[in-house]
Amino acid sequence: MKKSNIFDLIPETLKDELFEELISKDGIKIERIVSHGHVTSEFEWYDQRRDEWVILLQGEAVISFLNEDDVRLKAGDYINIPARKKHRVSWTKPNEDTLWLAVHY
């Protein structure tokens, strides 16, 4: 058994948003995502085959949904995004790490 900490080993600088798969088994994937002012390209939309439950552990973010209202998240907030619901990250706090835990199922 190996113990890890979700807040450890965050790089000092990030050119791109960091996606790290923590575990994947039986159709479930859990990943850590680290943003530092990163956003999804204005014309790019995530259109995932599976549902995604995501919790913001640190920082702040805004998720935009195609033809729907934006959702602003702060530490502790979570949201379930149904499969095929087009969305993008339109803002993350620029001067601190935004740490996400995402469960794809």
Domains in the chain, please, with CATH? 18-104 (2.60.120.10)
- Residue 30 has what pLDDT? 98
Distance (Å, whole) CA 47 – CA 87 = 7
- Residue 13 has what pLDDT? 85
DSSP 32-91: EEEESS----TT--B--SS-EEEEEEESEEEEEETTS--EEEETT-EEEE-TT--EEEEE
CA distances from 39 to 1, 3, 57, 75, 105 (A): 35, 31, 17, 17, 23
- Residue 93 has what pLDDT? 92
Entry pTM:
0.89
Tens place of pLDDT for every residue, the chain, 105 residues? 889 999 999 988 888 899 999 999 999 999 999 999 999 998 999 999 999 999 999 999 999 999 999 999 999 999 999 999 999 999 999 989 999 999 999
